[in-house]
Structure 1
Amino acid sequence: MPGNIKEALACWNRDGNQSGHRERWKIVPACIWSTIWLERNQRCFENKSCSMEKTKLKCLTLFYFWCKHEYPHEDEDITSMLESLRSS
């Protein structure tokens, strides 16, 4: 288990180098951290919160947007893109 962010990213990049989608793999930590940071700000400054499922969907939507440079039209778009990453 990594002890800090630097170690976590080193493990993530090491494991991602075995993937056929290296560039997309590198985006994932930033998507997770960005989504959590935005959720934290909503909770702290706007007194709003989302469910865990909604937060996960926001993270996947952000990942899709950063990879495709467009917002998904349906949840199925996100699912099919994630399946294409697994099948390669």
Structure 2
Amino acid sequence: MKEALACWNRDGNQSGHRERWKIVPAYIWWTIWLERNQRCFESKSCSMEKMKLNYLALFYFGCKHEYPREDEAIPSILEFLMSS
């Protein structure tokens, strides 16, 4: 985990969206945590595609709330994440 975050921060510092790049792992882990809780406590599960969409929605609305003046950059970041 430590090594993955170190790579993430190193690569993210080279991008033009450093602040947003830093929060991506937290949103990924939060999405996985929510899915885990659904599976354990509600006997429900989502497909990988649905989990990805849930993540992207969290990321989009989190960025929109956090960075309201830069809305035009969010679609390009989402496009990048979808293509990865």
TM range (shorter): 0.7 to 0.9
- State the distance in 2 between where 1:50 and 1:84 align: 24
Name the residue aligned to 1:51: 47
How many pairs were matched up? 74
- Unpaired stretches in structure 2, ≥5 consecutive residues: none
The structure carrying a bigger helix percent of its residues is: 2
Shift of 1:26: 0.5
- Unpaired stretches in structure 1, ≥5 consecutive residues: 71-76
Task: Report sequence identity in percent.
Answer: 80
Structure 1 residues 84 and 25: CA distance shift in structure 2, 3 A: closer
- State the distance in 1 between where 2:7 and 2:28 align: 16
**In the alignment, structure 1 residue 16 sits paired with structure 2 residue 12:** yes
- Aligned counterpart for 2:60 among listed residues 58, 61, 64: 64
Shift of 1:62: 0.5
- State the distance in 1 between where 2:43 and 2:2 align: 31
CA RMSD for the aligned pairs? 2.2
Give the counterpart letter for 1:83 in structure 2.
Answer: S
User: Does 61-70 or 33-42 show the bigger shift?
Assistant: 61-70
- Aligned counterpart for 2:35 among listed residues 36, 39, 63: 39
